[in-house]
Structures are given as C-alpha cells and as structure tokens.
Structure 1
Amino acid sequence: MFDYRALEALTAVIEQGGFERAAKRLNISQSAVSQRIRQLEFRLGQPVLLRISPPRLTEIGQRLTNHLQQVQQLEQSLLTEEHPEQDVTVRLAVNADSIDTWLAPALAQCPVSQRMNFELVIEDQRIGLQRMKNGEVMACICESAQPVNGGLSQKLGVVRYLALASPDFIHNYAAGDRGHHWLQQAPCLVYSGDDQLQHQFLALLQLDAPGRFQRVPSSSGFVQMARAGLGFGMMPEIQVREFLADGSLVNVAPQHWIDVPHYWHYWQTESDYMVQLRQAVVKHAAECLL
C-alpha cells in the first residue's frame, strides 16, 4: 500500500509550485516534504517529480496523483454518508470567461452547494485539462472532449467568441482599409500566453499572427480594455451583449467567429456531492450555452 502522506506531499508540491509553499500548505517542514517524496521514489525505483522551476510530474507521478484524487473522492463519499453536515472542499479548474458569465449560478444551483468550499483554479480552456492529468483538481472545464486516465467527460455546450473593438479603435487603425489586414498591426488583447483565440481568428481571415499584444489577465478587464479603445480581441458573445447593443463594442468581422466547446471532466470515482454538482452545472449550461 502507498504512503498517502507522500502522495499528498507530491500533489501539494505541484499545486503550490514548489517545496517551500507545499510545506506551508501541509503545515510541515520543507525537509519533511522532500523526505516523503524521496521515500516514495526509493520504493518505486524511479523519480516521480522533475525538480525544475516550477516542479513537474513524471509519468508515474501523474498516475499517482490521479490515484490520490480518486481515493479522496471515495473517502469523501463515505464521510458525507456518515456526516452529511460536514463541509467538503471542491477544487475546480475553470477558464476565466466561464466564471465571469454563466458558471457561478450553476454552482449555486447545486442542492448541496452550501456544504461546499469552492477553490477555483483559473486556466485557459485549452490547457485546463493538465490540472486533471496532474491530479490537482476534482473536476475541470475545458474544450477537450478526451478524458484523462480514470476520468470521464460530459459536454456542456458551446461558447461563441466574437472579434470586437471599440468604434474609435476601428476608426483609428482601419484607416480606410476595406479588408482586415490592419488587424495584424493593431494592438491585440490576449488573456495570457496560452490564449490562442486571436491567432485562430486571424488565421480564419488568412492573416498572420498579430504583431502587437496587450496582455490582460482578467476576463472583465479584457472587455473594458477593448471598450476603452486599447485593442481588439475575442470575447464571449454571452458576456458582451449589452455592449454590442449600446454600440460601445463593434464586431470587426461579422461573418467570422469561433465556437469553443466546453466539457465537464470528472473522476470515475465520483462522490455523491460531485454527482449533484455535475448535474447542476450540466443543467444550467444547457440553458445558457449554444
């Protein structure tokens, strides 16, 4: 049988991005964290962690952290049966746009949401599944339909992204260009280095990657930067309807958009609480998403 304290230390190092912060999270010394992981590696005869900055799991390390997540879900299910009043922590990887639009009401509609302490991990929808692979989260919302080992996925719907900018921005940068080539030189808003929606949009127009960037790691801030005339970018239609209606944002290419599918990923060893949460999210998503 595995030493689950060692698996918890391994997961904490990945979640916290280092040994020192993992030690603080577990309320033990940094040397104790290192010792637990070394003992685990000695037993397995191979490394479970790449000691770089930030640390990364090896293949066997990913399998172990996945295993721990599933065991914890089983334990949670048993504990809540015996103590239904007990709170549970739900660590969920989601993209920022979902939080700023439809997700919060979906979480609130779960019958047992008052017993849940949500810990949301913000990741781009393209890469959020890596958190599941690392065994860091209990569920994940991302655009990939392919589940991780030991997991399943369920489609939530599609979010339509439009390329938008302010009228003044278009006036200043288009300069009479009847095509869309001006977009390659105009400032482009991106959420993070993992945000490729703007690149995909320009590729639809048969244009090269954008030449200038404004990095805005906030979903609502992204929209406000565009409204202020500081750049163009891809925004969820469900987030900007009022700004399209009042004219403060304009579609720079009305014939083009990007539909991004969203899937709920969960472990096969799903606890009763997580089943109820998934059902609430799926139901609300069906009402909000395409």
Structure 2
Amino acid sequence: MIDYKLLEALATVIETGGFERAGEALGLSQSAVSQRIKALEIRLGQPVLIRHPQLAPTPAGRQLLNHYQQVQLLERDLRNALPTLDAASPRMRIAINADSLATWWAGTVADLCRDEGLLLDLVIEDQDVGLKRLRDGEVAACLCASDQPIAGARCVSLGTMVYHPYATPAYIARHFPDGPTETAFRHAPAIVYGPHDQLQHRFLAQCGYHGAFPYHLCPSSEGFVRLATAGIGYGMMPRRQVAELEDAGRLASLAPSHCLEVPLYWHFWRHSGALLERLTSALGEVQLT
C-alpha cells in the first residue's frame, strides 16, 4: 500500500515548485522532503520527478498525483460520514482562466465554500492551456476552452463567454480613424494576456489581418482593463467584465460587428466525491453572458 505522507510530499513539491518551499509548507526540512520523494521512488521502482531542466512529474508521478487528488476529495466525504475523524477543512486545487475569476466565479462558488468550509487553491491558466494541469495530475478540476476528453475525467459544458475588442473612444479615434483597417492593426498597440493567449490573433484573423502587430503583455485580468482604460492599448475583453465602463462611455468596441465566442468546459476527475459533484452542480447554473 502507498504511504500517503510520501504522496503528500510529491504533491507539495509540484504545487510549490521546489523542495525547500515544500518543506516550509509541510513543516519539514528540505532533506526530509527529499527523503520522502526518494522513499516513494524506491517503493515504486522508478522516478516520480524530473528534476532538470525544470521540476515536473514523470508519467508515473502524474498517475500518483491524480490518485492523490481524488483520495483527498473522497476523504472529505468520509469525514462527513464519520465526524470523529480529523475535521480539517478540505482544500481543492483548480485551474481557472483569469477572466472567469474576475467576473462570475466568486459569486457562483461562495455559498459552497461557506457551507462546506471549502478552501480553494486556484491556479490561473489561460483557457486554452489549463487542461494540461489536470492531465498532469496537478489539479482536481479545471475550467478551460477545450472539450477534449481525458481518460478518467468528466467534461461539462458551461456555456460561452463573448469577447469584444475594447479601447477608449480617444484611442479608437487616434489609431482607428478609418475603422479596423490593415494599416491600423499594423501600428496600433494591442494588449495580450500572455504568450499562450490567442484571442487577439483570432480577432485579427477574423478581420482579415494575419501580419505582425505591436502589443503589451499583461498577465492580469484587472490590469488588462486598467491598461485599456488608460488608453495604452486595445484588447479582447468580455462585456460582463467592462459593462459599467462601456455604459459610462469610457470603453467602446473598435469593431462592433466583430466578437469572439469562447466556450468554457469544466473538467474533473470521476469518482472524486460528493463535494466536487456539488461544485459541478453549482457551476452548471452559471450564466456566462
């Protein structure tokens, strides 16, 4: 049988990104964490971690992480059935895109967190790449734009978020006096969330432009809006996030006839317990637009 203290060490090393930080989180020395990983590898007969060029789980390590995520959630159900067990608050690690976190997520999960004492460990990932976190066993669930099924996991469609190219009216007048033209796109600075963010590229392709363009990188959903309202650039944002700013005339779409629809899917491991099922039910009631 597996010693779950060893799996806890493995999961903490991956979550914190290093042995020293894992030791601080677990109240152990770096050496003690290293010994637990070594003991797990000896027990398994193969490595569970790739240490260079960057720390990552091996395929065997990913399987163990998947298992550990599910066991943690099942233990929550057991504590409810047997109150004399340790009643520590459950913690759920979830990959989520920044725009969902900045708009509808908190209001949707607030009641469940309060009623169940649930603690969230949120990992911010672009909606196009978040599924990798689940596949690698780093999270119990993920919210992303892919409907690609994963063996052992369920996928639930939550709806669609609609993005528009917003900028200040002054910015639009200065950079897009003739509308969304090839010349304007070639010179007007855009705002891109991160290196994996393809929304801007998809919008430009929709408008018939496939060339290079200047852009700011801003890996913060709130900072993204602030840059736009300051007149620094234009970018793809959901109306739900900037409705008040648009209604007040501080932001406007530079191409009102163009928008992008991004589907969102909730992926989670099967047989992970009632708490994750209740969270899934709460998410199924959300209105994204």
Scaled by the length of structure 1, what TM-score is found?
0.90
Match of 2:288 in 1: 289
Match of 1:212 in 2: 214
Query: Aligned equivalents of 1:178 and 1:26: distance in 2?
Result: 54
Alpha carbons of structure 1 residues 225 and 190: separation in structure 2 relative to 1, 3 Å: same
The one-letter amino acid paired with 2:41 is E
Structure 1: runs of 5 or more not aligned = none
Query: Aligned equivalents of 2:274 and 2:114: distance in 1?
Result: 10
CA contact (8 A) 1:66 1:150 kept: no
Match of 1:231 in 2: 233
The one-letter amino acid paired with 2:117 is R
Task: Say which is worse superposed, 77-86 or 218-227, in terms of deviation.
Answer: 77-86
Check if 1:15 corresponds to 2:20: no
SS of equivalent to 1:217: coil
Task: Say which is worse superposed, 217-226 or 155-164, in terms of deviation.
Answer: 217-226
Query: Aligned equivalents of 2:71 and 2:113: distance in 1?
Result: 24
Task: Say which is worse superposed, 223-232 or 251-260, in terms of deviation.
Answer: 251-260
Alpha carbons of structure 1 residues 111 and 55: separation in structure 2 relative to 1, 3 Å: closer
- The offset of 1:16, in angstroms, is 0.8
Alpha carbons of structure 1 residues 179 and 212: separation in structure 2 relative to 1, 3 Å: closer
Taking every aligned residue pair, what percent have the same amino acid on both sides? 44
Alpha carbons of structure 1 residues 59 and 209: separation in structure 2 relative to 1, 3 Å: farther
SS of equivalent to 1:124: coil
The one-letter amino acid paired with 1:68 is Y
Match of 1:76 in 2: 76
The one-letter amino acid paired with 1:166 is T
Query: Aligned equivalents of 1:68 and 1:95: distance in 2?
Result: 23
CA contact (8 A) 2:73 2:275 kept: no
Match of 1:50 in 2: 50
The number of equivalent residue pairs is 287
SS of equivalent to 1:136: coil
Match of 1:122 in 2: 124
SS of equivalent to 2:112: coil
Query: Aligned equivalents of 2:166 and 2:29: distance in 1?
Result: 50
The one-letter amino acid paired with 2:222 is S
Match of 1:194 in 2: 196
Match of 2:41 in 1: 41
Cα shift readout 1:181-203 (whole Å, capped 9, x = no counterpart): 31232111112222221112112
Match of 1:259 in 2: 261
- The offset of 1:47, in angstroms, is 2.1
Query: Aligned equivalents of 1:224 and 1:74: distance in 2?
Result: 42
Alpha carbons of structure 1 residues 31 and 256: separation in structure 2 relative to 1, 3 Å: same
Query: Aligned equivalents of 2:208 and 2:34: distance in 1?
Result: 51
- The offset of 1:119, in angstroms, is 2.2
Query: Aligned equivalents of 1:117 and 1:50: distance in 2?
Result: 29
CA contact (8 A) 1:164 1:252 kept: yes
- The offset of 1:87, in angstroms, is 2.7
CA contact (8 A) 1:142 1:263 kept: yes
Match of 2:67 in 1: 67
- The offset of 1:20, in angstroms, is 1.2
Structure 2: runs of 5 or more not aligned = none
Query: Aligned equivalents of 2:113 and 2:13: distance in 1?
Result: 33
- The offset of 1:111, in angstroms, is 8.0
Match of 1:184 in 2: 186
SS of equivalent to 1:194: coil
Query: Aligned equivalents of 1:43 and 1:149: distance in 2?
Result: 26
Match of 1:154 in 2: 156
CA contact (8 A) 1:158 1:262 kept: yes
- The offset of 1:174, in angstroms, is 2.6
SS of equivalent to 1:110: helix
- The offset of 1:53, in angstroms, is 5.2
RMSD (Å), alpha carbons? 2.1
Task: Say which is worse superposed, 68-77 or 78-87, in terms of deviation.
Answer: 78-87
Query: Aligned equivalents of 2:211 and 2:219: distance in 1?
Result: 20
Alpha carbons of structure 1 residues 113 and 195: separation in structure 2 relative to 1, 3 Å: farther
Query: Aligned equivalents of 2:207 and 2:23: distance in 1?
Result: 50
CA contact (8 A) 1:156 1:263 kept: yes
The one-letter amino acid paired with 1:145 is D
- The offset of 1:148, in angstroms, is 3.0
